[in-house]
Homo-oligomer: A and B are copies of this chain.
């Protein structure tokens, strides 16, 4: 993988954006947008970059999901959303699998066209409150009774952040069933390579010209890298636990350097997109606000941003 100098940034033509923890924090109350994120989506689109939402959201159909995002002020359409359920439907049809669904009730309509009689596999989504003991045990009994148990998991996230705190994600329940049945689940959704490939196809941009932006180091960043993309980790969503104080200070410095108001935790991404569309080439040096800003959104293990860069950044 290329280093994190900024020459490559001029070649970027499209962005894949995670949604929960990046655009908004979900919640029983419908969730709340993250400050600055609607404006960031608007700027990305205005810049001419292509944009596709790449989400493991499985608590609603894509149509309902987009309706909710639009109500929060995000200018997005169903065609701009790549989500696990449609990908799972393709896989089920290709392999002649008839699922028992352990998913959120609001997701069930996505499987309307799928034969669900006499199940020969289990599809697991983020069922949240529907993860009762009885429901999980029903899925377990079906699996343990199959000659070759097939468990398809819509993502494998550990947890996510809602407005009222952290919530267990589908991955925890996937592990429970894997252990009980001594099997390994097939993951549809991030970080599966095939899922990112679908998202790139829908974005219409090859991997080396796309960047994935998310809050999960495994599902978003790791998955995208496996697929040949660069990836940035934002410090909102699940990342923000315990680090928000530090971030506020840094964004304050950024704002001072740039002399323009930046929308909260999206500051670094906005700097990145501005750089990408040609307003600067990084010639102000590695300690410029631009490079400092982007460094802030790169987790150190990802690329060539090393100890020296971070030390310089911290001295500012």
Contacts and interface: CB of A to CB of B under 8 A. Distances in A.
23 contacts: A129-B133, A131-B136, A132-B133, A133-B168, A136-B168, A137-B167, A137-B168, A140-B159, A140-B166, A140-B172, A141-B165, A144-B241, A158-B181, A159-B180, A168-B176, A171-B179, A171-B180, A172-B179, A172-B180, A173-B176, A175-B178, A175-B179, A176-B176
B144 A166 contact: yes
Contacts of A180: 158-159, 168-169, 171-172
Contacts of A137: 167-168
Interface residues of A, number: 32
A166 B179 contact: no
Q: Is the interface of A mostly helix, strand, loop or mixed?
A: helix
Interface string A125-141: 00111111110110011
A182 interface: yes
A187 interface: no
A166 to B, nearest CB: 6
B134 A133 contact: no
> How many identical subunits does the complex contain?
2
A133 to B, nearest CB: 4
Contact of A133 (B130, B165, B166): B130
A298 interface: no
A174 to B, nearest CB: 8
A207 interface: no
A19 B133 CA distance: 23
Contacts of A181: 158
Contacts of A127: 133
A142 to B, nearest CB: 11
Q: Which 5 A-B pairs have the closest CB atoms?
A: A172-B176, A175-B179, A176-B176, A131-B133, A172-B180
A176 B182 CA distance: 14
Interface in A96-132: 127-132
B179 A158 contact: yes
A132 to B, nearest CB: 6
A219 to B, nearest CB: 13
A177 interface: yes
